[in-house]
Structure 1
Amino acid sequence: MGRTAQPAALKLIKGRAPGKDSAGRDVNPGPAFKRIPPQAPSWLSDEARAEWDRVLPGLSRLDLLKPEDRAALAAYCEAWAVFREATETVQRDGLTIEAKQGTLPHPAVGIARAAGRELRAWAAHFGLTPSTEQALARGSENEPDPDNPFN
């Protein structure tokens, strides 16, 4: 599998000139979706809703969201909720449990790991990873990086 393509808005934010990506290539803006944030689903868990409310303003300011992103953003937020609950369970109960078979990893350890992987995957789609944040910060000024010898 190759790398996941970035949304046009992320490419343009990192670009060096209007309509260009960081390498100076033209960016296809893609379909003309109406860039308004989706409404939160009523069924989100309390923790997922809190995460929705935390990330929505920043993603909206970057014009990265459209109503059709609702399911993906909800999946990200619920992955966060599961990750948090599993992590808190491990903190409270410990990494292992005692069973007839002996000492075993606590089931919440595996749940936290799986939720963490899912969380990172969804976060990357929305530009919520530290590496994407740095790329957005560098590209938002549309100025060449003075430390880059290839400018």
Structure 2
Amino acid sequence: MPRTAKPAGLKLIEGRSSGRDSGGRKVNSGPDFKRLPPEAPDWLSPEAAAEWDRVLPELSRLDLVKESDRAALAAYCEAWATFVEATLTVQQEGQFIEARQGKLAHPAVGIARAAGREMRSWAAHFGLTPSTEQALARSGGDDGDEANPFAGSG
């Protein structure tokens, strides 16, 4: 899967100093979109709506979403809902089914895997992956350039 560029806001949150990314490079803030949180679509499934309500407050607080991110966030939330439903099905019915050919993987196993991949892909766009969480945690205490052994030596 090709790497996609992180949003400027996420680069700045992970950055080492004001206006700089984690590598010390100046971050181009890009277009000045209005950072208003999108409204949840009324067609979201109940599980997807619950995920929307769970992640939107933090994404909004960090200025990582805008109104035009509605479709991408909805896709993430529905992928989560599909993942949950398929996982619950596997838990209730087991990982295998009996077929004429013998024992086969339950179809929900493949559905959960595909939904998990899609969910992780969308989550990365919003900084919701574990690696991004770790990067945010590292940047939480603003040590500035003092924590950078390469800063100020020139």
Q: TM-score, normalised by structure 1?
A: 0.93
Tell me how far 1:134 sits from its aligned partner.
1.1
Superposed CA RMSD: 1.8
Query: What letter corresponds to residue 32 of structure 2 in structure 1?
Result: A
- 1:16–1:147 CA distance, 2 compared to 1 (3 A): closer
Provide the residue aligned with 2:53 in structure 1.
53
**Residue pair 1:13, 1:142 contacting (<8 A) in 2 also:** no
- Write the deviation string for residues 4-27 of structure 1: whole angstroms up to 9, x where unpaired: 100000111111221111111110
Report Cα offsets for 1:79-128 as digits up to 9, x if no partner.
Answer: 00000000000000000001111111100000000001011111111111
Q: Indicate whether 1:31 and 2:31 are aligned.
A: yes
Per-residue CA deviations over 1:21-67 (Å, capped at 9, x if unaligned) read 11111100000100011000010000000000000001111000100
Q: CA distance change for structure 1 residues 7 and 103 in 2, over 3 Å: closer, same or farther?
A: same
3-state SS of the aligned residue for 2:29?
A: coil
User: Which residue in 2 is equivalent to 1:126?
Assistant: 126
Three-state SS of the structure 1 residue aligned to 2:25 is: coil
Query: Which contiguous aligned blocks of 4+ residues in structure 1 show a shift greater than 3 angstroms?
Result: 144-151
SS in 2 for 1:21: coil
Contact in 1 for aligned 2:17/2:145 (Cα 8 Å): no
CA 1:117–1:146: 2 relative to 1, 3 Å: farther
- % identity of equivalent residues: 73
Paired residues of 1:15 and 1:142 also in contact (CA < 8 A)? no
Q: Size of the alignment, in residue pairs? A: 151
Cα distance in structure 1, aligned partners of 2:4 and 2:93:
37
CA distance in 2, matches of 1:29, 1:147: 24
What's the counterpart of residue 98 of structure 1?
A: 98
CA distance in 1: counterparts of 2:84 and 2:146, whole angstroms:
40
| Partner residue, 2:140 | 140
